[in-house]
Chain A
Amino acid sequence: MNDTNDKLKIALARLEASAQKIIATRGYSRDAKSLKLLEEMVKEQLIHANSRTATRSIR
């Protein structure tokens, strides 16, 4: 589990850096959109929120 979490955290850090770089140079482009989406998908795994329901984070 820790190994998996580590992989996710490292991947997330790289994705955040890539997305920031693209947004800074090319704006919120299609690449930036898909990277941000992937970033959020990874974040969901880290907070066990793959089962996130319709409402805001507390639900």
Chain B
Amino acid sequence: MRILVLQLARFGDIYQTWPILKALARSHPDAEIHVLVRQRFQAALSGLAGVRVHALPTADILAPIYAAGDENAAHGNLLGFLGPLRDLNFDRIVNLSFSPVSSYLADAVAHARTATTGYTRFEDGYLRIPDDPSAYFFAQGEIGGANRFHITSIFAAVAGVDLTPEDFAGGERPRSRHALIHLGGSQRERSYPAELWARAIKDICRDHDCILIGSPGERALSETVLAAVASPRLRNLCGKTRIEELPALVGEASLLVGADSAPAQLAGLTGTPVLQITSDASNFWTTGPTAPGSRVLYEAELQEIDPARIAAEARAMLEGRPPEGPCAFRTERIGEYRLHELHFDDFSWRLIQALYTQSPYPETGERADLLAFQRLHEISGLALDQFDGRPLEARALGQIDTLLNEVGRLNPRVRPLVQWFETERMRLPPGTLEETVARSRALFTDLRLISSVYHRPANPEEGYRRARELCSELCPALREFDFGSHEDAFQSLVSTLHELAAHSTKVGGASWSERLESLHSALERRDFIEIADQLEHELLPALS
């Protein structure tokens, strides 16, 4: 058996892929395991035994375009790269990079009999997500999302392997007592300011030796911090080491302090505890450190983390003491973080668990949540109407998609349900119109059933009164173009109208769907005067 693992992301994700490669080799002892990474990040596989490494030479392939705008020669280069890879006749392809390029690459290298998991393409070229774990990540894996499954576990699920602690092992070394500090982050918003770093490090250096590490691009930052700390206990290796030397550096340290970046991911392989500082710019549940004993300090903005907290927690970790203050921490490599004096709203996470793992649906008494689920219930009903007894209106279905996404945007707590639904729709395979209608109808039925868990049927008289009140409230505001501060009232009105539509076919002389579509159309054009006119001259008289 021959298996190809695609990992076209950067250093950090390649380090997170090591355990999966080891688990594949363990569970398929007779298989040939191949891995394809970008040439630029190939060094992250240095030291990994038993795996055949292929590098995607992007720069070489595209060189003719850069030199002479010659895309035909670039295409020739690409075919020259793909040919030998395809000739290896892989039995399985496991694509662990969730990107368009990787989906086309997986498809281009596969044969008809190749079993692919991870992103690939349908026979008509559209994105195909054949496995549920990849679909889960497509739906719920975004920054700011509610996912709490770690990326390594998701990778393992895509590859179809169960991880053991041994799959992470192999990089351990005798430790010395010092802390490594990585000042930079993989992105600007994941970087902590130099003056705050200096205050934290000065405090740690009172009792402990520290070493700064980082890329050549972070050297200026490190020199600023070095000068501000001015301690003989602080050394600066920033920009002076190669990526291949990083495993030894990280493995010999007792602690790594830094933001969400490649060294923190590498520490999972060397078993080095990490003190990670993190914010809403990344999701520590997904990409946080995996070494047992690691801790995570969180604030919405990174610079809101007090340097004294970093120093106190780093000292506690180096001295083997329990957490000093609010943090997330892990005692095992596999599984969720635990929280110490740290609290997050977990409604959306529990909703995700209900959607994907058959857990009970979480309860909510929040009016905004109930309203959002009610809207989803109504919208799915509206969609199901489109499938019944009339020619299919593609435009109407497009508007239904817009409405669904709008509900998720206005109330992020229910977004997991919208994203689950949209992803499952996207996964529908090519087929005849009848097949597509049947599959779509089944999905909308699922959405209606799920949202009905939270659906509260309204009293129509109360609904009419509420709708009149909202129309009267909205009209003067809309005529002053003040939509922003009345957006909730508008959504509430639309929701109430949908509810009323369930009790009668018409309002005044027009059908409910015409009224609602007319309102929606005016909203799309941001024509607030038109909306006010409709409310005042058409809806209010019809509702009275």
- Show the binding face of A for B, using Cβ within 8 Å: 4, 7-8, 10-11, 14-15, 23, 27-28, 30, 32-38, 40-45, 49-56, 58-59
Contacts and interface: CB of A to CB of B under 8 A. Distances in A.
Contacts of A34: 75, 78-79, 82, 108
Given A11-B69, A40-B101, A45-B62, A53 B12 contact: yes
Interface of B is mostly: helix
A36 B71 CA distance: 12
Contact of A52 (B9, B16, B124): B9
A54 B96 contact: yes
Contact of B137 (A8, A43, A55, A58): A55
Nearest to A15: B71
Nearest to A12: B71
B97 interface: yes
A41 B98 contact: no
Interface string B97-138: 111110011011000000000000101110000000000011
B105 A14 contact: no
A28 to B, nearest CB: 4
B151 A54 contact: yes
Residue from A14, A40, A52 whose CB has the most chain B CB atoms within 10 Å: A52
A50 B105 contact: no
Contacts, number: 106
A40 B104 contact: yes
B13 A53 contact: yes
Interface of B: 7-10, 12-13, 16, 38, 40, 58, 61-62, 65-66, 69-71, 74-75, 78-79, 82, 96-101, 104-105, 107-108, 121, 123-125, 137-138, 141-144, 151, 155, 186, 282, 286
A25 to B, nearest CB: 14
A30 to B, nearest CB: 8
B108 A33 contact: yes
B125 A37 contact: no
Contacts of A40: 100-101, 104
B108 A37 contact: yes
Contacts of A50: 38, 40, 58
24 contacts: A7-B69, A8-B66, A14-B71, A28-B121, A34-B75, A34-B82, A36-B125, A37-B78, A37-B82, A37-B105, A38-B71, A40-B100, A43-B100, A45-B62, A49-B99, A50-B40, A50-B58, A52-B9, A52-B99, A54-B96, A54-B98, A54-B155, A55-B98, A59-B141
B65 A8 contact: yes
A28 B125 contact: yes
Contacts of A33: 104, 107-108, 121, 125
Contact of B75 (A7, A8, A38): A38
B116 to A, nearest CB: 13
Residue from A49, A50, A53 whose CB has the most chain B CB atoms within 10 Å: A53
Contacts of B98: 54-56
Contacts of B78: 34, 37-38, 41
Contacts of B70: 11
A41 B101 contact: yes
A7 to B, nearest CB: 4
Given A11-B70, A54-B151, A55-B137, 14 more contacts: A4-B66, A23-B125, A28-B121, A33-B125, A34-B79, A36-B104, A37-B104, A40-B100, A40-B104, A44-B58, A49-B99, A52-B97, A53-B12, A55-B151
B75 A55 contact: no
A25 B195 CA distance: 61
Contacts of A56: 98, 138, 141-142
Contacts of B61: 38, 41
A24 to B, nearest CB: 12
A10 B66 CA distance: 11
A35 B78 CA distance: 9
B129 to A, nearest CB: 12
A27 to B, nearest CB: 8
A58 B108 CA distance: 26
A55 B40 contact: no
B108 A41 contact: no
Contacts of A7: 65-66, 69
Given A15-B71, A37-B101, A45-B62, A54 B108 contact: no
Residue from A30, A49, A51, A54 whose CB has the most chain B CB atoms within 10 Å: A54
A34 B81 CA distance: 11
B130 to A, nearest CB: 16
B125 A55 contact: no
A58 B142 contact: yes
For the complex of A and B, 5 pairs with smallest distance between CB atoms:
A37-B104, A11-B71, A28-B125, A54-B13, A7-B69
